[in-house]
């Protein structure tokens, strides 16, 4: 009768953790003092640690995703302030992209229609920016 391996032992868990951090099989093998061929078999399709590794990887990625979402949520004001600051750029293309990004986030991105110019006209973005600049200048 074959004995089932305890995949919760330290050596197996270290191998899983090391693989997740991007270590190669030779490095994992050296660190846990196991032949490289054994480590490779553990993570091969149907291998002893394949399922455990995938479960660990998915849990870690979910945790990292949640942490990223939390950090982004706490700092969304920084991104918004940066976009607003970019609207003051001397480059029209930068201004346009900043304004477009803000409007797309607030109002939703417009549906694309390649047969027409901006807002269904033949007017280019640059023309609209130039006209807007003229209208907002003190000289009028």
Question: For the segment 31-56, what is each residue's pLDDT rounded down to a tens digit?
Answer: 999 999 999 999 999 999 999 999 99
- Summarised one tens digit per residue, pLDDT across range 64-95 is 999 998 998 898 889 889 888 998 999 988 98
Residues 44 and 90 reside in one and the same domain:
no
Please tell me the distance from the alpha carbon of residue 94 to that of residue 72, in angstroms, as a whole number: 23
Is 4 inside a domain boundary? Answer: no
Residues 64 and 80 reside in one and the same domain:
no
- In the chain, the number of structural domains is 2
Average pLDDT, the chain: 85
- Backbone phi, then psi, for 9, in 5-degree steps? -70, 160
Is 2 inside a domain boundary? Answer: no
Is 3 inside a domain boundary? Answer: no
pLDDT on residue 140: 56
pLDDT on residue 99: 87
Q: Of 47, 73, 99, which residue is a domain's last? A: 73
Token pair for residue 93?
């293309």
pLDDT on residue 133: 80
The candidate with the shortest Cα–Cα distance to 18, out of 32, 3, 37, is 32
What mean pLDDT comes out for the span 10-39? 96
Evaluate if residue 60 carries a pLDDT over 60. Answer: yes
The candidate with the shortest Cα–Cα distance to 15, out of 55, 54, 42, is 42
Evaluate if residue 108 carries a pLDDT over 90. Answer: no
Burial per residue of 58-92, b for 16 or more beta-carbon CB atoms within 10 angstroms, e otherwise: eeeeeeeeeeeeeeeeeeeeeeeeebeebeeeeee
Q: Which domain holds residue 34?
A: 10-73
- Among 12-26, 39-53, 96-110, the minimum mean pLDDT is found in 96-110
């Amino acid at each position: 009768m074959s004995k089932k391996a305890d995949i919760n032992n330290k050596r197996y868990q270290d191998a899983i953790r090391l693989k997740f951090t991007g270590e190669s099989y030779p490095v994992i093998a050296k660190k846990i003092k196991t032949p490289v061929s054994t480590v490779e078999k553990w993570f091969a399709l149907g291998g002893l640690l394949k399922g455990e590794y995938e479960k660990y990887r998915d849990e870690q990625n979910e945790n990292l995703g949640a942490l990223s979402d939390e950090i982004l949520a706490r700092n969304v004001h920084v991104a918004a302030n940066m976009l607003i600051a970019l609207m003051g750029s001397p480059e029209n293309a930068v201004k346009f992209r900043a304004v477009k990004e803000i409007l797309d986030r607030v109002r939703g991105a417009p549906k694309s229609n390649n047969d027409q110019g901006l807002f269904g006209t033949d007017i280019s973005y640059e023309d609209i920016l130039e006209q807007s600049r003229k209208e907002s200048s003190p000289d009028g």
